[in-house]
Amino acid sequence: MGGKIFAHRGASQLAPENTMPAFELAYQLKADAIETDVQLTKDRIPVLFHDIRLNRTTNQKGYIKDFTYEQLTKLDAGSWFSKKYIGTSIVSLEDFLKWVEDKPLMINLELKNHKIAYKHLEEIVLEMIEYFQMEERIILSSFNPASVQRLAKMTHIQTAFLTSKRRTDLVEYAQSLGATALHIQYRLLRGNIVEQSRNRNMPLRVYTVNKRRQLLRCFQKKCDGIITDVPHKAQRIRNLFRI
């Protein structure tokens, strides 16, 4: 079997991103893994949410960091996507890990700390993972190089440096931060990055790949993972070409 299929924010083309319906669909569509984003509430509860503001995907305005978990549970994080999902709520990391516990899914937790440097986000997430004993099934990632460096000192859990920025020594740079994997934006899949990451024993995963031609190219190049909003489409391509 070819590269692993990661459902980006769950099956986010079919259901509201980072909510239980999107995660359930990813599981039903037989994704190999789920990618999701972690931030902290005002009372320091880790929750799964992409934007730093609530505005785009809920019925509230403001920053996620300014609301308590209790306040956030009352918001509607589904109706922006479709009426079908009215009443869908924001999910805590704890509830997500409880749900995923008995399912054969890998998990990529992206620590969303490149715009807001949530203090102790790494420690809080690591404690939760330890509680559920899920170290082997989790890949951590961050766009924040300092967070990757902190994680490398704190844990043996696979940690990816996440980037959309071009640099010629990217694989070497990621390794110098202490990252054990590299997650790149699709446009960085060029030159000999696949060979370079293989030579350094760093799994290479690519985001966010939704187009058929791009999915096919990632599989053909033998990327280790493809982070996609359309896990069902990626599955079809992987099966069809027996990649």
Residues labelled as active-site residues: 8, 50
Between CA 25 and CA 103 the distance in angstroms is: 13
Among 3, 4, 7, 8, binds ligand G3P (CB under 6 A): 8
Question: Which CB atom, from 50 or from 221, has the smaller least distance to ligand G3P?
Answer: 50
Between CA 220 and CA 80 the distance in angstroms is: 36
CA nearest 144: which of 48, 223, 17, 39? 39
206 within 8 A of 4, measured Cβ to Cβ: no
Neighbours of 232 (CB within 10 A): 18
State which amino acid sits at residue 20. Answer: M
Shortest reach from residue 8's CB to Ca ion, in Å: 7
122 near Ca ion, rule: CB under 5 A: no
Question: Which CB atom, from 84 or from 167, has the smaller least distance to ligand G3P?
Answer: 167
Per-residue mark of binding to ligand G3P, 32-71 (x: CB under 6 A)? ---x-x------------x---------------------
Which of Ca ion, ligand G3P, none does residue 183 bind (CB under 5 to 8 Å by kind)?
ligand G3P
Unique residue bearing structure tokens 């039903």 = 28
Which of ligand G3P, Ca ion, none does residue 26 bind (CB under 5 to 8 Å by kind)?
none
Which of Ca ion, ligand G3P, none does residue 207 bind (CB under 5 to 8 Å by kind)?
ligand G3P
Listed in sequence order, the DSSP H helices in 160-230 are: 170-177, 193-199, 212-220
Unique residue bearing structure tokens 């918001």 = 75
DSSP class of residue 91? Answer: E
Is residue 67 exposed (0-12), middle (13-18) or buried (19+ Cβ within 10 Å)? buried
Shortest reach from residue 110's CB to Ca ion, in Å: 4
Shortest reach from residue 182's CB to ligand G3P, in Å: 11
110 near Ca ion, rule: CB under 5 A: yes
Between CA 143 and CA 216 the distance in angstroms is: 26
Question: Which CB atom, from 55 or from 239, has the smaller least distance to ligand G3P?
Answer: 55
Shortest reach from residue 219's CB to Ca ion, in Å: 21
Among 32, 37, 122, 229, binds Ca ion (CB under 5 A): 37
227 near ligand G3P, rule: CB under 6 A: yes
Three-point CA angle 119, 121, 123, nearest 5°: 110
Q: What part of residues 92-121 is at the interface with ligand G3P (CB under 6 A)? A: 110
Does an H or E element contain 207, and which? Answer: strand 204-207
Chain residues that interact with ligand G3P, rule: CB under 6 A:
8, 35, 37, 50, 110, 141, 162, 183, 207-208, 227
Chain residues that interact with Ca ion, rule: CB under 5 A:
37, 110
